[in-house]
Structure 1
Amino acid sequence: MGKVIVIGGGAAGILAAISAAGRGDEVIILEHTKALGKKLLSTGNGRCNLTNKKQDDSFYRTENPGFPIPALTRFGYRETINFFNSLGLYCKERDGYVYPRSSQAAAVRNLLLEELSRLGVEIRTECEVRKLQRKTKGFLVLAADTSFYGDSVILACGGKSAPVTGSDGSGYGLAEALGHRLIPPVPALTGLRAAENPLKKAAGVRTDGRVSLYIEENGKERLVGSDAGELQLTDYGISGIPVFQVSRFASRALEQGMGVTARLNFLPEYDRDEAEELLETVLQRTEEDCFSLLLGLFPEKLAAVLLKKAGLPVHIPAGRLSGRQKQAIVDTVCRLRLSISAVNDFSQAQVTAGGIDTRDVNEETMESRLVPGLYFAGEMLDVDGICGGYNLQWAWASGFLAGKQGRP
C-alpha cells in the first residue's frame, strides 16, 4: 500500500482517487476550490452526459494520434456504465448519448463523493498547491500553508476552460517545473467570431445548417472540419454544437497566425444540385417577392439577411431576377462565407485543446516518462473530445489508469 496524492478534484481526479483507494492505497485529494466536482454540475446542461456508446479515435483530438486508445480500451463505454451502476446510478441512452436516468448531474457528483467517503479518501478543499518536488523517494507537495508527502502524485488539475469552476491552468506550471512540455492551451467547444458579421441582424435565430471550416496555408485553403446540426446565429458570429465541434481547429490555426474561414450551408440536408433545384423551384412563383418565398424555408430574420447578403432588395419579385441574381441567392444560402477573427475565450469554452504533451506520458499507465511516480489524468493532458460525453469519458478512462498505478 502506498500513499497517493491527487492534485485536482474534478471528474478525472475523483475517478483516479477511487481507482487508487479501491486497490488499497492511502489517498488524499487536494482541491483548490471549495468543493469537488463543481464542473460536473454543468455538463450536459446540468444533466451530465456521462459517456457515449459510439467510441473510436475519431472522436478525440491530440497532437499525438493514438494516445487515448489504450485508456479507452481499458476503461471505455461499457466499463463506465458498469462502474456507475456499481455506485447505484442507473443510466439512460439516447442516440448513443448516455445520461443518468434522473437527468441530474448532482446525482453523479453525490454518488462519487459517497464512494470517496466509503473508501476513506481524505479530501482537502481550498488547498492551493504552490510547488511539487521530486525527492529521492516520493514527492513533496507544498501548499499555501502546509505540505504533504506521497509515494506518487496524480496531476488532474484540469485545463483552462470554464475558470469559474476552478480550471485555471495552474497544473501546467507544476508539470513544466518537472520537465514536461506544454502544447499551448486554446479554447475548444466554443463559438466563432466573425471579422465582419453579415448575420448580425439575425442574432438569436436557431436554424439547421452545416459549418465547414477552412484554414489558409501557403495561399491555399484546406478543409479541416465540418459538422451539421442546429446553428445559433449571434451578434458576434456563430455558435451551436456544429460550430463547437470544429472550433478547436479554428483556435489552433488562429494561435498559429493562420487565416480561418467558415462556410455555412443553410440547406444541409440537400446536396449541391438538389439545393439549387429546390431554390429554383421556390423562385418559379414569379409574382411573389423573394422574401415571402424564402419564408417557406428559413426563419424570417434569416431570410431577410440572406437576401441582403446576396445583394438583393428584400421584396424584389422573383420574376424580375436575372440568372446571376438567382445564382447569388444559391451561393449565399449554400456557401455563405465568414472570415473568422477569433473564438470565444476560455470563460465560454467547454474544454481546453492542448495541454501537457502526451509524448512524455505512457499511454498504458498515464505515468510520466520523465518522472517515475508522477501520473496525469483528464483535461490537463493534450487530449480533447467532441461534444457528446467524450471529454468525460476521457476523464474516467485516464483517471482509472492513473489511479491503477500500472498494476494489474
Structure 2
Amino acid sequence: MSGTSPGTPRLFSRGSWDEARRVADILRGETVGGALLLAGAVAAMIWANSPWSGSYEALRAVTVGPAALHLDLNLAAWASDGLLAIFFFVAGLELKREFVAGDLRQARRAAVPVAAAFGGVIVPAVLYLLVTLSTGADGGAARGWAIPTATDIAFALAVLAVIGRYLPTALRTFLLTLAVVDDLLAIVIIAVFYTANLSLPALLGALVPLAVFAVLVQRRVRAWWLLLPLAVATWALMHASGVHATVAGVLLAFTVPVVRSERAGGPDAGPGLAERFEHRLRPLSAGVAVPVFAFLSAGVSLGGLSGLATALADPIAVGVVIGLVVGKPVGIMIATWLVARFTRADLDESLAWVDVGGLSVLAGIGFTVSLLIGELAFGSGSERDAHVKVAVLTGSLIAALAAAIILRLRNRVYRRIHEAETVDRDGDGIPDAYQRRP
C-alpha cells in the first residue's frame, strides 16, 4: 500500500521467527489430526448408512464406568464428555501460551483474532435465530443458537494444509488463534447456557482438586501420578455438578505456568511447563480424542436423498448452514475491519482483504464443537440432533469448498510471500525476513 507512513500499524504483519516455527509445528500436528478426524467422520457416515447401521448404534450405546460414581456412561458420552476434555485442555494451554509468551502478548496483535472470534460467534448466532424465527420453527429451536458459532481447529487446518500450503505465517497464526479463542468462547457458552441442573456441592468440590493441581503445577511438579488423579477428580466432580465436564479441561489448563520461574532460569531457560504438557498431549488430542469423538458422533442415517432433503428442509438445519457459511465469514470480516478502522491500521502490504475473506470462509468449518452443542441442545440421538449433524456436515463442506476456491486464486501471491519468508542467505537457520536490521 503505497503512501502509508512507516509508523502506521499493520494487520497480519510478520511476527517473530520463534513464533513462526512454533505455529508451523502445531499446524503439522493438527493437520495429521484433521486427516484422522475426516477419516473417523467418513467411516461413521458409511457405517451408519450401511445394512449394519444397527451395530453402529449398539457400539455407541455400550455402557462402561463405575455406577456408584454415576459414571456409567455410554461410549458416545465418554467421547463427548471425556475425550473432548483433553482437547480443551490442549486448547487452553495453547491460548494461555499465546497471550503470556507468544506474539499475542502484544495487545495490538491480540486484538485482531480476539475481535474476529467474537464477531464469528455473534453474527452466526443472530442469523440462526432470525432464520428459525422467520420460518415459523417452534420455540425449542432457539436452543440451538450456539451450534454454528464454533470453528473446528483440526478440520480447518487439515483443509488449509491441502489448499494453502504457501499461506503466509501471519494468516496461519490468525486462523489458529481465532479457532482456539472461538472454541474457548464455545466452552463458556456451554457452561452458562447448556447447564440444566446445577449441583453446587459438586461444583464447589471440584475446586478442591483443581486448587491442589494448581499449587503443584505452579511449583513445577510434573509427576503424572500426582497430577493425573487430581485432574480426573476435577473432571468427575465437574461432570457430577451438571456443568459440562469439558469445562474442567480449560480450567486445569489455565492453572499451568507458561514460563519458567526465575529460580529455574526464567523465560530464556527453555520451554515452560505449559509447553511441555502441550507437546505431550497434543498427539493424544489430535490423534485419538478428536477422531474418536468424530467417529462416535458423526454417524447419522440419511435415509437416501429424500431423507437428506427432509433433514436440510428443517429450519434448524437451514439456520445452522447459513450460520456457518454466511454468518461466520461476515462476522469475522466485520470485526476485523472494525479493528482496522478504530486502530487506523492497514493490512500488510503483501496482502489484500480477499485473503482475510478466504480465511473467514474457512472458519465456517464447525465440526467438533458444533456437533457437541447440537447434542446438548436437542439430545443425543433425537431427530433434531440428526438434522443438526447433517447441517453441520453440509455447512462445513460448503465452507471448505468455497475457501478452497478463494485461497487457490491467490496461491501465486502466497508462493511469492513464502519464498521471501524462507530465504536464509547467511545460513544461520533464521530466514532473513525475520532478522532485525539496523
Pick the structure with more helix per residue. 2
> TM > 0.5 between the two?
no
Larger radius of gyration: 1
TM-score using structure 1 length: 0.27
| Larger fraction in strand | 1
Tell me the TM-score normalized by structure 2. 0.25
